Structures are given as structure tokens and as C-alpha cells.
Amino acid sequence: MVRVLKATPEAVAEGARLLREGRLVAFPTETVYGLGADAFNPLAVARIFEVKNRPEFDPIIVHIADPAQLPDLVREIPETARRLIEKFWPGPLTLILPKTEKVPDIVTAGLPTVAVRMPAHPVALALIRAAGRPVAAPSANPFGYLSPTTAEHVLAQLDGKVDLILDGGPCPVGVESTVLDLTADVPTVLRPGGLAVEDIEAVVGPVRVAAGPADRPRSPGQLARHYSPRTPLVLFSDRAYPDPRGRRAGLLLFRRPARIPEGFAAVEWLSETGDLREAAADLFAALHRLDRAKLDIIFAERVPEVGLGRAIMDRLRKAAAPAVDGPGPLNG
Ligand code: TXA
Ligand code: MG
């Protein structure tokens, strides 16, 4: 059974130690409980997806304890962001901004933007501060369940799957943060939440509220601008390598091959041993690398569709789908 500790300073220090070791710690915020991992540790973040049992990757909010941590995470802080931060942080407002290279691709599910917030909860702030790094955390519920607002909810839903639950009592706000995209032409609310849209508008003027399901998909994984390689990508099954002849072809393998296959301009493997968590942690970064290698085509090996393998295959299938406005696959 997972340890549930009342969030004393000692327990928070223990949680911070676990985070630094790449383990998962559930912790209270003012909105809902989060399932935290070191935001700069791709393997730890991959484990979040494993524990949440999501069939797809979803970008994760990065939590900070001080706006001074922002330059590590975002490339620029526009004036609107400064005003909103001044007024509403710490609090239930998540800002989407262009990410730095330092933010692992798995945190943002390959997007060039990152979601950041500074939570208004003493335990969350103490934990992030003690960890000495930003903490990536989705709500601490398995896929398809309600967000937890007490430590008991987390225990009931994730028992045995997290390394520690810090009990800070019920969450005062009780709904997730408002997610505001500041990279669009007009600030756009992607998810209404704990901070009212009217309060945001009082500071930055009119904002757009993404409306219908097409406008605000359940997961930004479905957004058209969601990262997909520009290079045509074709899936293949293990054992039979595709034929690279006549093309500048890239090969994306699940595990390290016994011998590097010949004829490919680039060969990458997602894991040394065929470990799905390791594969998930490197997936987006590997796709980015291959996409920059000026290839005609990428052949990507299917992975087993169990555990994180489902999310990996979901992403690979989306990457393989013919682009609507991009170049089509060269070989049909
Ligand atoms: O209150 C909250 O926001 C809680 C606590 C733990 O902070 N967290 C939370 O995380 O609700 P999660 O993962 O359940 O929801 C995060 C939302 C998702 O809808 C996700 O798609 C969106 O934020 N999101 C994250 N990064 C994004 C990005 N770069 N672009 C667009 N949407 C993003
Ligand atoms: Mg959630």
C-alpha cells in the first residue's frame, strides 16, 4: 500500500527527495490533487502517463513556486503574461507560453508551448521549493475518473501506483485551473476553471473562450497544431525492416537492434531494451530529431499495445496519418 503522510515539513522534505529521485508524489494544490514528477526528468514524466493509464499523451502543466523559475521554462514572458502573473499568481491560472529547449518534449506532448502555473497552496509551494525544480503534474486521477480533491480520493484511485501521497486536507477551490493560451492572436481560454474569465478580462481585456468540442477538444492531442513530423511517416511491424532504397529514409526502432540496419540515413531506437516507459520518454524528442534530419520518409516500428504502448501507438498513428495540408507520403 502507498504511504499517505500528513503534509508536515518532514513529509514534504521526503516528497521532495522522492521527486529528485524520479519518483511520483501526489500533492494538494488549491484546485485539485496533482500527480507530480520532476519536470526535467523525461522518464519520471513517462511514468505519470503509465500510472494515469491514458490511451494517448496529453501535455502536462508544469508547477513552479516562484515566477523567477519561468526563464528556465518559457522563451519569453509577454506583457499580458506579466500582468496576469502579477495579479493572479499564486492561483488557479495556467498560462500557455512558448517553451524552452530545456522542457522535455514528453512534458508538452511534442508541442512547442508549455503550460505553467504557480499554485496557491502552502504544501505545493513548499514541495516545489524543496525539490529545487519545477514539478510536472496532471490531476491525480486515472484516465476517465474524476479529479481528486482529497488525499482519500487519490488513495482510492491510485493506490500502489504512486510513491507517496501528501495529505493536505481538502482542496479549497475544487475545480482545475483555468487554462489560458497566450500564444494565440487573442488570449484564449482552453479550459474554464478556478479563475473566472471575467477576472481575466478585467486585466487583459476581451479574451476568446474556445467553445464547442471542435474548438476545444478534450485533449489538445487532437488539435491540428499538435506536433506531428512534417516528414512522411510509415509504420511497420518488427522483424521485417522496410527497404530504404532510393530514398533518404529514417528508421525509428522500438529497441536497440543487434546490428544497425544498412541503407538508412538515420537510425534511432526508443529504448535500449524494449522498455515502454523509456520509449515513451524519448518518443517526441526522437520524432523531432528525425524530422530535422531532412529525410524523405521515416519508417517507424510498431510497439506492443500494452501499458504505455497504447499511447505511443496512438501518437505514431497520428504522425502516420496523411497530413491535411502538408506533403503527402512519397510512396503512397
Ligand atoms: O488545477 C489544475 O490545473 C490541476 C492541478 C494539479 O494543477 N492540474 C490539471 O492538469 O488539471 P491536467 O493534466 O488534468 O489538465 C491540464 C490541461 C489539459 O487540458 C491539457 O491538455 C492542457 O492543460 N495543457 C497542458 N499543456 C498544454 C499546452 N502546451 N497547450 C495546450 N493545452 C495544454
Ligand atoms: Mg485532469
* Ligand 1 atom nearest 99 alpha carbon: 29
Residue 252 Cα to chain centre, angstroms: 21
Mean pLDDT in residue range 236-261: 92
CA-closest candidate to residue 150, choices 166, 129, 170, 164: 170
Cis omega before residue 142 (within 30°)? no
**Full set of structural domains in the chain with CATH:** 4-209 (3.90.870.10), 233-319 (3.40.50.11030)
Q: What are the residue ranges of helices labelled H in the chain?
A: 9-20, 42-52, 70-73, 79-88, 122-131, 151-158, 197-204, 276-291, 308-320
- Which strands, in side-by-side order, build the sheet including 266-271? 233-236, 297-301, 249-255, 266-271
Distance 325 CA to ligand 1 centre (A): 28
pLDDT digits (tens, 9 = 90+) for 94-106: 999 999 999 999 9
Calculate how far, in angstroms, residue 137's C-alpha sits from the geometric centre of ligand 2.
Answer: 9
pLDDT at 62 over 80: yes
Q: Is this structure's pTM higher than 0.95?
A: no
Pocket test for ligand 1, best of 58, 165, 181, 218 (most atoms within 8 A of CB): 58
| pLDDT at 146 (0 to 100) | 85
Residue 221 CA: which ligand 1 atom is closest? 21
Residue with cell 541503407: 263
Task: Band the pLDDT of 218: cuts 50, 70, 90.
Answer: very low
Q: What is the pLDDT of residue 179?
A: 96
Which pLDDT score, from 0 to 100, does residue 31 have? 94
3-state helix, strand, coil in the chain (%, to 5): 30, 20, 50
* Proximal ligand: closest to the CA of 147: 2
- The residues, ordered by sequence, that sit 6+ positions from 215 with a Cβ below 8 Å of its Cβ are none
One DSSP character per residue, 237-293 reads -TTS----TTS-EEEEEEE--SSPPTT-SEEEEEESS--HHHHHHHHHHHHHHHHTT
